[in-house]
């Protein structure tokens, strides 16, 4: 009797969890957005819970919950595959390589400034995006040798929050406020890789459970990117997984792809079981070569990313 009651209690909890995640298929309601990004993790937890329930007491409902859990989990992984680059695509013979680093360093992470500067300088990145970069404000000279060009932290905008560093000259830089919740958290700059002008965009979105701001900011970012056109690389802290409905819409409408199989970046304590909320996306005229998570979090609550890309050159 006790085993049956425990099994029934597990079934109720699993049912509620599956119902919340399943709502993504009928609504994009912002209050549930965080759970949409957790679909793979919640699917695995629900499947394990269903197995535990079946061990305690076998029932048709328990088997149905197990099947639903596996279905939701499997669909989450299938959705991630949609935006992967074509693994058979070879870069053009005349392509030049470019490396992008993207890292949310955490706005009060003063203790690790020296280590972060060393990491950026040694990364070999052609372009680096740093978010919540305030702690770097009085240490920017230490980055000048490796990265003589920048926007942010006094260049193009006064505030020191979003920072783009470049080994190559920066053309037509623009900062935007995507909503009234956060200012100047989206920047686009043209940077030439060889002879090809590439639009490098850095973005830091609001959290998805702050009303409809996340979806609104994605729509506004898409409008800004469409005006620039051309080969494009957009990276940053999206605060949401690629499989979230508003993220999928953004990628499909923009014709974007991931730079590779996406590693978990947050929270750092969860390691590989975390959520990939930091991303590097490219237009499909760019060939991604690799996407890796920076091994150390350098005191941040996010792991950073490094992507190697092949940029086709004019004939």
Q: Picking from 39-53, 99-113, 287-301, which range would have the lowest pLDDT averaged per residue?
A: 39-53
CA 304 – CA 172 distance, rounded (Å): 26
Look at residue 24 in the predicted model and tell me its pLDDT.
Answer: 82
In the chain, where are the structural domains located? Answer: 2-82, 96-311
Q: Quick one: DSSP state of residue 32?
A: G
Q: What is the DSSP string of 198-212?
A: EEEEEEEPPPTTSTT
Look at residue 11 in the predicted model and tell me its pLDDT.
Answer: 84
Kindly tell me if the per-residue pLDDT of 313 is higher than 80: yes
Categorize the per-residue pLDDT at 211 as very low, low, confident or very high, splitting at 50, 70 and 90.
confident
- Other C-beta atoms closer than 10 Å to the C-beta of 114 total 12
Average pLDDT over residues 269-291: 96
- Digit-coded pLDDT (tens) for 152-202: 999 999 999 999 999 999 999 999 999 999 899 999 999 999 999 999 999
Look at residue 239 in the predicted model and tell me its pLDDT.
Answer: 96
Burial class (CB in 10 A: 0-12, 13-18, 19+), 273: exposed
Categorize the per-residue pLDDT at 10 as very low, low, confident or very high, splitting at 50, 70 and 90.
confident
- Digit-coded pLDDT (tens) for 96-111: 999 999 999 999 999 9
Look at residue 92 in the predicted model and tell me its pLDDT.
Answer: 87
Percent of the chain with pLDDT over 90: 73
> Which runs of consecutive H residues, i.e. helices, occur in the chain?
2-22, 33-37, 39-56, 60-82, 113-122, 213-228, 245-254
Look at residue 260 in the predicted model and tell me its pLDDT.
Answer: 96
Categorize the per-residue pLDDT at 241 as very low, low, confident or very high, splitting at 50, 70 and 90.
very high
- Digit-coded pLDDT (tens) for 189-201: 999 999 999 999 9
Residue 264, token pair as written in the block: 């978990």
Residues β-bridged to residue 165: 128, 150
Kindly tell me if the per-residue pLDDT of 210 is higher than 80: no
Contact 230, 171 (CB under 8 A): no
Look at residue 151 in the predicted model and tell me its pLDDT.
Answer: 98
Look at residue 223 in the predicted model and tell me its pLDDT.
Answer: 96
Question: Which CATH number describes the domain made up of 96-311?
Answer: 3.60.10.10
What's the chain's average pLDDT?
Answer: 93
Residue 114, token pair as written in the block: 């020296």
Residue 144, token pair as written in the block: 């000048």
The structure's pTM equals: 0.92
Nearest to 208 by CA among 36, 42, 35, 33: 33
For residue 232, give the 3-state DSSP assignment: strand
Question: How far apart, in Å, are the Cα atoms of 108 and each of 222, 300, 313?
Answer: 30, 9, 41
Tell me the Cα Rg of the chain.
21
- Digit-coded pLDDT (tens) for 114-165: 999 999 999 999 999 999 999 999 999 999 999 999 999 999 999 999 999 9
Residue 175, token pair as written in the block: 């900062």
Kindly tell me if the per-residue pLDDT of 28 is higher than 80: no
Looking at mean pLDDT, say which of 49-53, 226-230, 287-291 comes out highest.
287-291
Kindly tell me if the per-residue pLDDT of 29 is higher than 80: no
Look at residue 36 in the predicted model and tell me its pLDDT.
Answer: 82
């Amino acid at each position: 009797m006790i085993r049956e009651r425990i099994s029934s209690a597990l079934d109720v909890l699993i049912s509620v969890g599956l119902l919340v995640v399943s709502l993504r298929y009928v609504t994009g309601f912002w209050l549930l957005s965080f759970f949409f990004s957790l679909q793979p993790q919640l699917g695995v937890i629900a499947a394990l819970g269903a197995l535990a329930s079946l061990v305690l007491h076998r029932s048709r409902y328990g088997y149905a919950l197990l099947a639903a859990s596996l279905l939701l989990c499997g669909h989450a992984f299938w959705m991630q595959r949609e935006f992967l680059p074509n693994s058979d695509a070879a870069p053009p013979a005349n392509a030049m390589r470019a490396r992008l680093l993207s890292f949310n360093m955490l706005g009060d992470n003063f203790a690790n400034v020296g280590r972060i500067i060393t990491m950026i300088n040694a990364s070999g990145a052609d372009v680096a995006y740093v978010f919540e970069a305030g702690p770097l404000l009085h240490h920017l000279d230490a980055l000048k040798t490796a990265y003589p060009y920048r926007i942010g932290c006094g260049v193009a905008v006064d505030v020191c929050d979003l920072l783009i560093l470049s080994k190559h000259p920066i053309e037509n830089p623009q900062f935007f406020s995507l909503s009234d919740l956060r200012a100047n958290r989206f920047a686009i700059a043209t940077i030439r890789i060889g002879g090809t002008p590439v639009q490098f965009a850095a973005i830091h979105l609001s959290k998805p459970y702050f009303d409809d701001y996340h979806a609104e900011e994605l729509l506004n970012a898409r409008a800004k990117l469409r005006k620039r056109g051309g080969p494009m690389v957009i990276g940053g802290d999206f605060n949401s997984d690629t499989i979230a409905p508003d993220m999928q819409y953004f990628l499909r409408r923009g014709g974007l792809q991931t730079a590779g199989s996406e590693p978990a970046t947050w929270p750092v304590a969860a390691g590989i079981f975390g959520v990939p909320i930091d991303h590097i996306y490219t237009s499909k005229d760019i060939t991604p070569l690799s996407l890796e998570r920076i091994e150390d979090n350098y005191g941040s609550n996010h792991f950073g990313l490094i992507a190697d890309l092949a940029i086709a050159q004019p004939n």
